[in-house]
Amino acid sequence: VIREMTEGGVDYSFECSGNYQVLRESFLSSHD
């Protein structure tokens, strides 16, 4: 499903479910 949604795959993947602060930090560290 991920390959179909992104047309080949993702560049970065983070496991951070359940902790909002970790989710936010991982997003901000990889967001342009």
Q: Render pLDDT for 1-32 as a digit per residue (tens, 0 to 9).
A: 677 778 887 777 777 678 888 888 878 887 76
Cα–Cα distance, 25 to 18 (Å, whole number): 13
Question: How many Å is the maximal CA-CA distance in the chain?
Answer: 29
What DSSP string runs through 1-32?
Answer: -HHHHHTS--S-----TT-HHHHHHHHHHH--
pLDDT at position 7 is 82
Cα–Cα distance, 32 to 28 (Å, whole number): 8
pLDDT at position 9 is 79
pLDDT at position 25 is 84
pLDDT at position 15 is 72
